Amino acid sequence: MAASSSMKRNYNVFLSFRGTDVRHGFLSHLYAALKDKGIHTFVDREELRKGEEISPTLMRAIEESRIATIVFSENYASSPWCLEELLKIMECKEQNDLMVVPVFYKVEPREVREGERVIRELWITMSASSGRIQRKDERDEADLIQCIVKELWIRLKQTPLHVAKYPVGIDSRVQELICLSQKKSADDDVLMIGLWGPGGMGKTTIAKALYNAMMRQFQIVVDPLTIYGVARGISLIQERLCRKKVLLVLDDVDHMNQLNALAGKGNWFGKGSIIIVTTRNKQLLTSHGINRVHRIQTLGSCEARDLFCLHAFLDSKSVDIKMDLIDRALHYCGGLPLALEVLGSFLSGRNEAAWESALHRLSKSPDQTINQVLKTSFDGLDNDERRFSSILLVSLRERE
């Protein structure tokens, strides 16, 4: 997965095109329509070009865009400049989570001869990810432009969820779950994934990251529902969503009636739908017939140390702490992400005496669980800090 959530995005859309084919006609109208919609779009100027090399300004613009729209025209692939731009776009798609929307203008993909390998790979990639590809057939050009603008507007609304300040160990777990989801049988029209484990394990965090990784396989559909009761709500879900491919996340489910009301049966949703459920109760998942049940494990020793230190030592000016104190803190956290985050943040900037005091209190608890870590961190605050942190600690408990 690309670690691009913190990347600066100066542009909504980057337009890649062959100027001699479309600059003064189709492209100028498309740019105007995007501007009218409030979509901040980058269009290169001729002066940015130096020979046949892509300029640093263009490279930065691609990196800082959320979507790249490539207008494939008759002579696009005959330009070394365009192909270099295309390669940069594909690189950013893989590394920076750049969305790519190709537009074939008055050509079919097979008609674009030069650079065939690159374009064919793009075609396969977009087709595999259910990317919407617009073509210029006999339809009115104004209709085509409005269709493109609508598609880009929908994609721009697909804003990833914030996952974590320091997403240590998240990517590997999400990739494992994606592999799990791909092993479904031919009969699994709707896939239900259950994530379970005790509080503090990071179930919600992983569910959000999994949602971000999968959401672009789905379209945003504006389908407002006015629900006056559970029974009516169930009927509306079945009626409105039975033919739609949906991505649904049900977080912190603790009662069967919640599952029965929101995702009672797979046939409530269209083929290809994915339902993600997080809970502390494994039996709830198996009783409901969830296709794939996955227990969230604690962090390994290296990941736990990385996450703890990121919170405990925010900068190079942090005080020096003996290694055995760090090891003791890690022992009490037991690999629980929430405990590592809370205890690391509590100890951040404090001297060794404060560390000794906090860890001594933890050592006196026979049940060294996340709640004890939270309590120890809270008890060590002064009155002003307690008033501020009580809200945070309640939030942290409820989050898992």
Residue with tokens 């409820």, as numbered in its chain: 398
Catalytic site residue from 63, 85, 151, 341:
85
Active site residue 85: yes
**What are the residue numbers of the active site?**
85
